[in-house]
Amino acid sequence: MPPQALNRIPIEILRARVAQEIRTAILRGDLPPGSHVTQEYLAAQLGVSREPVRQALLLLQREGLVHAQPNRRAMVAPLDRQFISDVYGFREAVEAAVVAMLAQVPNFDATPFHELIARGRTAVRQGDRSTLIQLDMTFHASLYEAAGNQVIIEVMRGQWSHIRRVMAMVLARASYRQRVWDEHEAIVRNICAGRAASASAAASRHIRAAKKMLLSVFDATAVANAATSDPARDERRRKRFGPSEGK
């Protein structure tokens, strides 16, 4: 759609579209954690007026993806170690319970999961990290959907934006990518066999392994960033009115 056509869309629809564009840029890493943006910059990039950008940023602030700042600026929310640990701890508890429930379902249809695993292994061979992230999210979301618990589905839907931001850090490790799908397969195998306790244990091990890997990468990145810190450069970045990697 031509940029000028966006301004003719009703404001509610336009706000949602602008929010989705910015959200995607954040989740994809185009707007990295801690980077700064202005409403004017985003409006120019998206070909819209400033008002839908302002409203979109308010929406993303409620989602925890950006923090409002003075002078019509916003900062992409930094990744927080404790928050990551808490989210993955919550995931472990939820998914262990979900797969135990699924293991008790008579004649559980695992066909969609086997297809996802096959596609995941193909993406591993191709080194397609973007597809790997999407398939990984789809695998876990499909477990929630299969359980049919609407509370779990809604609660976890609210967490996926945050989880998506850190998945790229884990799946950047090529050696870990195959292990992810081996663990997915073990979870499905135990569900199909009706082994609730084993399925629950497999899910817990999977989430704990991802959490351990993620926090290790997070800590290593923090050390590397501290070692290359340049206060003068960071101050210049803070004064910029476009996106930057400074915090």
Q: Where does 81-225 sit in CATH, by number?
A: 1.20.120.530
DSSP annotation string for 29-85: TSS-TT-EEEHHHHHHHHTS-HHHHHHHHHHHHHTTSEEEETTTEEEEPPP-HHHHH
Q: Which of 100, 105, 172, 94 has its CA nearest to residue 140?
A: 94
Q: What pLDDT is recorded for position 225?
A: 65
Encoded amino acid at 44, one letter: A
Successive 10-residue mean pLDDT values, the chain, 247 residues: 55 87 86 89 92 93 90 88 90 96 95 97 92 92 94 87 79 84 98 98 96 86 67 48 45
Q: Where does 3-78 sit in CATH, by number?
A: 1.10.10.10
Q: Which residue has the tokens 């943006």?
A: 37
Q: What pLDDT is recorded for position 8?
A: 59
Q: What pLDDT is recorded for position 22?
A: 93
Q: Residue 51 and residue 64: Cα distance in Å, rounded?
A: 20
Strands 66-69 and 73-76: antiparallel
Q: What pLDDT is recorded for position 138?
A: 94
Q: Residue 137 and residue 126: Cα distance in Å, rounded?
A: 18
Q: What is the pLDDT of residues 103-125, one digit of tens each?
A: 999 999 999 999 999 999 999 99
Burial class (CB in 10 A: 0-12, 13-18, 19+), 135: buried
Domain spans of the chain, in order of start:
3-78, 81-225
Q: What pLDDT is recorded for position 242?
A: 52
